Structure formats: C-alpha cells, structure tokens
C-alpha cells in the first residue's frame, strides 16, 4: 500500500479539510513483531514479541545493522513511583505487561532486512553496598543482583565507533557510556568509556559530536568532552549507596567515587548555566542537559527545566577557566544573565525542554510540555481544570546563524495558553501549537500532543515525530476510578482530527508541513504507540521506533519514492492515512466547544 505525500498547503473550508497531493510517495513497512498490515493495536510487539520492551529508546545505523536500545516496563514503573501506595490503581495492572525483567536490552537487525532481530546485549547485574541508616554511612549491607542499565537512552556514531548512553533509573549505582569500536564487533567488544554516579539527578541523556570531540551531558548540568574516549579501569570494590529522601520518596544515591573519567574534561558545570533548575527536589527528575546541536561553528546545548522553562546556551570552545568553556545564553533567565536574550521557555515556563536538528541552513527546535505535572494531577485525582492549566501544546521554531528566531508551528494570540509573548505573528506553517487544526474551535487549543520528540532530515526532507498524551488519558479513563471519561470525551469532540497515537509530519521547505500519520502508525494506526521516540536516516530508508509501554515498542521503515516512479513494489506491506483526515467533521449544529470545556474546568 502507498500513501501520497501532500505538498504541504492545507485548506480549511467550514466543515471540510482536504489534503493536497504533492510530489512524492512513501512506502511503509513494519519491521518488528507481526509485520502483516493492518496493525492489530492490542497485539504484542516489543521487537521480539516481548511487551516489556517499552520504548525504542535509542537507535542507530552502524555497519550492516540497525541497533535499538530499549527501556523496560517504563510507564508501569513510573506510575508505581507516583502512586502513594506503590500499587497501580484500578485495573492498570492488567493493562501493562507483567514486569518480570527490568534489565535494559540492545537488539540489532540487518539493515537490508534479510535477518531477524537478535539480542545483542543486556544489562549486567552488580553488587552494591547499601548504607541503610544515613546517620551511620559506614555501616553497609550488601545488595546483590542490582540492575546496572535500566535502559539505553541515546546512541551516536562518532569517529567510526558506536557510542551508547545508559540510564541509572531507580536503583542503579551509575550511568555509563558504552563504546562498540568496530562495525564487526560483538557484545564482548563493548567498552565502558565513562561512568557518572547516580546522585538523585545525575543520569545521562545527551550525546553529540562537535569540532573533533564527543560530548556527554548530565542531568546535574555537567558536560564532559573527550576526543578519544577510552576503556576505563573497572571498579575494584562495589559502589556504596545511601537511602535518602528525594522527590517525596526514599531513593538510593551513590556516595562512593565510581571513577571512570580518564581522558574526559569537564567543560561545563551547573554554574556555567545560571538560572537553570537542576536539583532533583526541584525538577522531580525531569530536568537536566537535554540536547546538543553542532550548528554554524557553535555547540548548542539545551536544558530541560520544569520550574522555569527550557534554556539554551552555546559555546565555540573559548576557554573560561581551566577546562571550563565560556557559554553564551540564547534562551535563559534574564535575571541572572546579561545581554538581549529570550527568557526561559520563551516566556512560557510550561515549555520544559527543547529538541533540535539542522535543516536547510536553519536550526529547528521543537518544544516539550511539562507532562510530568499533568500525570501528577491525573494520578492524584485533580479535575479537568487543573489538567487544562498545564495545557501547553508544543511549538516548532527555527533560528539562523545570528540566533534570530521564527515560529513555524504555534499559537500567537495573547489569549492562547501556548503562546509566547515574543512571537505575535501567525506561525509560518499555518499550524497551531500541537498541530491543532479543528476550525470550529477558534479560541482554545485542545491538542493532546505534548512533545515534538524527534526530528531528522531524510532525503532532503525534515521529518517530525510527536508524543500524544491522549493515549494515557484514554487508558486511565478506561481503567481507573478517576473521573476522566467525560473530560476525555470532550477532548475527542474538540479535537476530532487527531486521535490517540503519535503523529509524524514532513516538510520539504521547512515551512509547509504535511501530516503523514496522526494515529500512532500506518495501515490502520495504533493508539498504544503514543510516541515516535526515535528517527534514524539510513541508505535503506527512514527508521522510526515507537514508545509503547502497553504492548511493546515497534520499528517501522519508511522509504521515499521520487515523483514519477510508479513501481508498485511495496516491499511486504505498507499503509498510511490522509494527510488531514476529514472524518470527524460532523457537527453541523456544533455546540460552542470552548465554552463547554471551560465550564468543566
């Protein structure tokens, strides 16, 4: 099956929205689980029919293989942590897979599609020493069998090697960076080239290359640089951890030195980025170094900050003191930074984080809305009013080499909750924040998209993948005693064009943006795929990895067929949807939806 890629200009006339067919065709192929289309949404996938593989959290093409790193039982663990009792409310325990193995795993599959997925590596278990009583830190209790890698969060190919960032979720003593030095290597060849102790907010996420070196960013705002990362000396004694109160619960943090930084220089620390909240008790684990971008001779670093809104700094390597670099604020707190800069979050603190890529000479930046607070409100029984007060659907911006910003996707009127006071002209693409496009609701924005999760350039086009909160809202409404169903029904009425599931968009010129899918998949959609977590461009096609903590993550392959190529070889199955589906435009005598929803706040 094939879907036509529209030219990007969409027309809204009364109750009809039509897609304009354009110049390219996309072939889609499911690359994991049952590859027969259409997809059965409740069918198990998880790459190898293992639903505990929640996210295709990291992905990279290296040598002859596509590598995918997963996390395990991610949302189940998150909900259990947020629950006061530690148990899942209602029938949620039946919605998520049974948690039997939380150890992160790495899989690979030949890029030419001739083989199956194989387990390449899984987290080891380690012995840690626990100082149970904070008043007696020298009294330790051994705890064997602790999972070291709760997931593999990011991958980067640099200088001929594959680098893999791990995450010290929950009880792990440290996060680390692994290196596969050769495309023909095996898991036995993996090297541990960096360790960062788990101190309640020091996990790893960001990795990037700039000016002949590799950079790693931490959640506690340290940035490490190495030109040639090397295998580190193994720990000679077990790491020591202490139980402390953090984020409203008992959390183990590492108090011993884990070493593991030979050949690395710390080129930034928290004071390098004034005004960025990063302590665990402030960010509740949702902050820290978020994304790197090499652009126009500078290294840009974005920071997640659920307290103040995201920040963005840049450096060209100018020394400040010792190994530390000088960093220039671009989007940051004006209270503690000099110069003409945009304030944190571009003036909206719900804009928590920023993901970036380069396309057509510009740096493109997509925002993340603070959905941790949204989950908290839902889990603690708050009503629709509290939920809507966090309602800031994401925006897409671009800036040039002079750091001049334009809004591509977003809201601009002063009454719009997603608006920034610094962008008062309509967005260049015509899309409202969160890609909201229902013309019958003109004042408020009821998009449930929370995050422009990943962007990638493939075949000279920019692809943008999202995270959709509607999936979580529907699941909670259906499986708990929380009074959410009426609220969810209202959202469906106010936003009929965008059902639950991730969206995938594309643009050929950076301005005219077309929807490829808005329902979590291709060939029928899958609401359980709430996020397009990873996007990787290869010579074999564009690969998309999903976030699906209910039935397991999926991988899809997308190929762009040039105009005029009418070969109908679909490569084993494909599918799609109209760019902006007309279904749902049924309200000939529509209620004033904005008033309806406001009345229920």
Q: Which two tokens stand for residue 441?
A: 């609701």
Q: State the pLDDT confidence band at 308, using cuts at 50, 70 and 90.
A: very high
pLDDT in the model for residue 13: 24
The predicted structure's pLDDT at residue 566:
54
- What is the rounded distance in angstroms from the CA atom of residue 552 to the CA atom of residue 534? 14
* pLDDT over 50 (residue 307): yes
Q: How many CB atoms lie within 10 A of CB 480?
A: 18
Contact assessment for residue 286 and residue 247, using Cβ atoms and an 8 Å cutoff: no
- What is the structure's pLDDT at 379? 66
* Conformational region of residue 52, where left means phi above 0, alpha means psi within -120 to 50, and beta covers everything else: alpha
How many distinct helices (H) and strands (E) make up the chain?
A: 8, 37
Is the per-residue pLDDT at 591 higher than 60? Answer: no
SS3 at position 596: helix
pLDDT surpassing 60 at residue 456? yes
* pLDDT tens digits, one per residue of 59-104: 999 999 999 999 999 999 888 877 767 788 889 999 999 999 999 9
Residue 379: partners with Cβ closer than 8 Å, 6 or more residues away: 79, 82, 83, 89
69 CB neighbour count, 10 Å cutoff: 31
Q: What is the pLDDT of residues 480-490, one digit of tens each?
A: 877 788 889 99
User: Which tokens go with 20?
Assistant: 């304009």
Owner of token pair 């080129």: 267
Which pLDDT value is given to residue 565? 63
> Is the confidence at residue 115, as pLDDT, over 60?
yes
H or E stretch including 354? Answer: strand 351-359
pLDDT at residue 382, rounded to an integer: 65
CA distance 420 to 70: 35
Q: Is the pLDDT confidence value at 193 over 90?
A: yes
pLDDT attached to residue 354: 97
What pLDDT score was predicted for residue 55?
A: 98
Q: How do residues 10-64 score in pLDDT, each as one tens digit?
A: 322 222 222 233 557 899 999 999 998 888 888 999 999 999 999 999 999 999 9
Closest by CA position to 230, among listed 205, 269, 193: 193
Partner residues linked to 161 by β-bridges = 158
Q: Does residue 585 surpass a pLDDT of 60?
A: no
Angle, CA 515 vertex, CA 509 and CA 518 arms, to 5°: 155
Q: What tens digit of pLDDT does each residue of 242-288 get?
A: 988 765 667 788 999 999 999 999 999 999 999 998 876 677 667 88
pLDDT score of 300 more than 70: yes
Whole-number percent of the chain with pLDDT over 90: 66
pLDDT at 376: 67
What is the average per-residue pLDDT within 380-408? 85
Cβ pair 172, 146 in contact under 8 A:
yes
Residue 81: per-residue pLDDT: 76
Return d(Cα 259, Cα 174) in angstroms, integer.
10
Q: What residues does 319 pair with on adjacent strands?
A: 325
**Contact in structure between 245 and 195 (CB atoms under 8 Å):** no
- Residue 301's Cβ-side half-sphere holds a number of Cα atoms within 13 Å equal to 36
Q: What is the pLDDT of residue 571?
A: 38
Model confidence at 381, in pLDDT bands (50, 70, 90)? Answer: low
- To the question of pTM greater than 0.75 for the whole model, the response is yes
The predicted structure's pLDDT at residue 37: 84
User: What residue segments make up the domains of the chain, in order of their start?
Assistant: 50-553
Tokens of 176: 């680390």
CA distance 139 to 231: 32
Q: Would the pLDDT of 595 be above 50?
A: no
State the residue for tokens 């929807």. 515
Cα separation, 558 vs 556, whole angstroms: 7
Q: How far apart are CA 345 and CA 332, in angstroms?
A: 8
Residue 207 to residue 61: CA distance in whole angstroms: 16
pLDDT at 440: 79
**489 near 533, Cβ under 8 Å?**
no
Cα 126 to Cα 140, 152, 199, distances in angstroms? 16, 17, 17
**Mean pLDDT computed over 183-195:** 98
When computed from its CA atoms, the radius of gyration of the chain, rounded to whole angstroms, is 23
Neighbouring residues of 589: CB distance < 8 A, sequence distance ≥ 6 = none
- Better pLDDT: 573 or 474: 474
Mean pLDDT of the chain: 86
Looking at 1.10.10.410, 2.60.40.10, 2.130.10.10, 2.40.50.220, the CATH number of the domain 50-553 comes to 2.130.10.10
Q: What is the mean pLDDT of residues 322-338?
A: 96
Quote the percentage of the chain above a pLDDT of 70. Answer: 85
Q: Are 66 and 109 in contact (CB under 8 A)?
A: yes
Q: What's the whole-number mean pLDDT along residues 554-575?
A: 66
Please tell me the distance from the alpha carbon of residue 98 to that of residue 95, in angstroms, as a whole number: 9
Q: Is 23 helix (H, G, I), strand (E, B) or coil?
A: strand
């Amino acid at each position: 099956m094939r879907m036509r890629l529209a030219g990007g200009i969409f027309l809204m006339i009364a109750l009809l929205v039509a897609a304009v067919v354009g110049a390219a065709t996309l072939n889609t192929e499911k690359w994991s689980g049952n590859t027969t289309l259409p997809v059965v949404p409740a069918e198990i996938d998880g790459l190898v029919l293992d639903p505990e593989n929640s996210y295709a959290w990291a992905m990279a093409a290296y040598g002859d293989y596509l590598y995918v790193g997963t996390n395990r039982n991610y949302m189940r663990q998150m909900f259990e942590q947020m629950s006061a009792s530690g148990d899942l409310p209602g029938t949620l325990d039946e919605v998520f897979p049974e948690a039997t193995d939380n150890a992160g795993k790495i899989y690979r599959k030949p890029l030419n599609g001739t083989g199956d997925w194989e387990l390449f590596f899984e987290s080891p278990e380690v012995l840690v020493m626990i100082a149970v009583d904070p008043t007696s830190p020298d009294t330790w209790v051994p705890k064997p069998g602790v999972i070291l890698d709760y997931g593999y969060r990011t991958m980067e190919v640099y200088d001929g090697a594959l680098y893999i960032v791990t995450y010290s979720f929950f009880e792990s003593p440290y996060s680390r960076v692994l290196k596969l030095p050769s495309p023909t290597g095996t898991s036995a060849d993996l090297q541990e080239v960096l360790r960062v102790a788990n101190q309640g907010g020091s996990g790893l996420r960001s990795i990037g290359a700039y000016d002949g070196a590799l950079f790693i960013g931490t959640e506690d705002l340290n940035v490490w640089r190495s030109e040639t990362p090397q295998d580190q000396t193994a720990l000679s004694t077990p790491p020591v951890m202490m139980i402390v109160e953090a984020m409203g619960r008992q959390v183990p943090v590492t108090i011993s030195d884990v070493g593991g930084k030979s050949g690395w220089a710390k080129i930034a620390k928290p004071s390098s980025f004034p005004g960025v909240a990063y302590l665990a008790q402030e960010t509740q684990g949702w902050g820290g170094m978020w994304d790197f971008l090499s652009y126009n001779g500078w290294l840009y670093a974005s920071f997640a900050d659920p307290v103040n809104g995201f920040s963005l700094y840049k450096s060209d390597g100018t020394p400040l003191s010792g190994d530390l670099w000088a960093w220039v604020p671009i989007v940051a707190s004006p209270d503690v930074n000099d110069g003409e800069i945009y304030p944190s979050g571009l003036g909206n603190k719900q804009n928590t984080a920023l993901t970036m890529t380069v396309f057509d000479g510009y740096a493109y930046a997509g925002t993340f809305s603070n959905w941790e607070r949204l989950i908290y409100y839902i889990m603690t029984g708050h009503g629709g009013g509290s939920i809507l007060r966090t309602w800031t659907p994401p925006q897409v911006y671009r800036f040039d080499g002079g750091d001049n910003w334009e809004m591509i996707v977003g809201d601009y009127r002063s009454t719009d909750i997603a608006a920034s006071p610094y962008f008062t002209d309509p967005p260049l693409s015509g899309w409202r924040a969160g890609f909201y496009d229902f013309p019958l609701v003109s004042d408020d924005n009821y998009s449930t998209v929370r995050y422009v999760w990943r962007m990638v350039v493939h075949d000279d086009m920019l692809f943008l993948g999202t995270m959709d909160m509607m999936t979580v809202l529907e699941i909670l409404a259906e499986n708990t005693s929380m009074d959410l169903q009426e609220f969810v029904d209202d959202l469906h009425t106010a936003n009929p064009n965008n059902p639950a599931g991730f969206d995938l968009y594309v643009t050929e010129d950076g301005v005219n943006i077309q929807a490829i899918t808005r329902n979590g998949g291709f060939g029928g959609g899958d609401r359980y795929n709430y996020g397009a977590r990873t996007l990787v461009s290869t010579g074999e096609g564009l690969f998309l990895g999903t976030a699906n903590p209910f039935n397991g993550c999926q991988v899809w392959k997308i190929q762009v067929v040039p105009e005029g190529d009418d070969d109908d070889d679909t490569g084993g199955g494909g599918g799609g949807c109209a760019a902006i589906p007309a279904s749902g435009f049924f309200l000939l005598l529509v209620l004033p939806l904005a008033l309806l929803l406001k009345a229920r706040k």
